[in-house]
Copies of this chain bind each other. A is one copy, B any other.
Amino acid sequence: MLHYLSLKDIDSLPNWVEEARSLKTNPKHHKGLGKDKTLGLLFFNNSLRTRLSTQKAAMNLGMEVIVMNFGSEGWALEYGDGTIMDQGSSEHVKEAAQVISQYCDIIGIRAFASLTNKEEDEAELVLESFKKYATVPILNMESSVGHPLQALADAITLVENNTKPKPKVVLSWAPHPRALPHAVANSFVEMMQRQDADFVITHPKGYELSENITKGCTIEYDQEKALENADFVYVKNWSNYTNYGQVINKDTNWTITLKKLGQAKFMHCLPVRRNVVVADEVLDSSQSLVIEQANNRTYAAQIALKKILESLS
């Protein structure tokens, strides 16, 4: 039984990308595979792309989909072991995960980082608790630590647009008014570590991501230098990791402009704040791949669901 919790669950990234591209040319080809199978999507946080593309992917595979906004429609969950549940939480994840496993053949979960409890976030409290107690496969629709469906879509997009044997890919931090999680950046780094590329991470000093994630990566604090001769520039804000969840820097000198981008292709997971993270001129140019990245979310979800379904039979 295959879970898709992180990129580590992919046996061969090139093969998954290849097969996803094949699904893209004929999305309904495996419509029989999901027949009489139910995908339950549990949202603990808001979602646009993940919500729609994962439903679309499941329907392409002939699955039935049940969507639930867990926070507003269900019961507040308890995760602690041995808790005397006389406070806010009405149901323990032990019961919830086992119960939902009886109604759904696969459970997708979106549960963002709290950005207040680093230890719980790093432990993937929600995702790992569901994995532990569920009896069916779990699909990560963005957890506190990673967003592997996004990274898989990014991998597809890179392959579709790359023309070089070893392209230069830069992950650049950009400013943002609110505290954002590290999940997208983490999974992008993990994905790049599986690519044959010249990969550079750039961000202001003090904005280092977890060393567990970036181990072995080149970090260049000078954005201009980092961007030199880049083929792909992946831009993303994240809040401070050391001063966990704080917004310490909003320096608009880090905003991506056409001049900074040079000849590179621009990538972002969306939603993106125009003229804060990146200038209009970039998003509205032909160098932007953001819409195609979003399109590839469908095929990322579809290949992940297909692999999981195949692991069930």
Q: Which residues of A contact B (CB under 8 A)?
A: 28, 36, 38, 40, 43, 46-49, 51-53, 55-56, 59, 64, 66, 68-69, 72-75, 78, 82-87, 89-92, 94-96, 98-100, 102-104, 177, 270-276, 280, 283-284, 290-291, 294-295, 298
Contact = CB atoms under 8 A, between A and B. Distances in A.
Contacts of A43: 73
Given A73-B47, A74-B48, A276-B84, A295 B102 contact: yes
Given A52-B103, A94-B283, A96-B271, 11 more contacts: A43-B73, A48-B99, A52-B100, A53-B103, A55-B66, A59-B64, A85-B275, A86-B177, A99-B291, A99-B295, A102-B298
Nearest to A280: B82
Contacts of A28: 36
A27 to B, nearest CB: 9
A68 B83 contact: no
Given A56-B66, A78-B274, A294 B73 contact: no
Q: Which of A43, A275, A283 has the most CB of B within 10 A?
A: A275
Contacts of A38: 56, 59
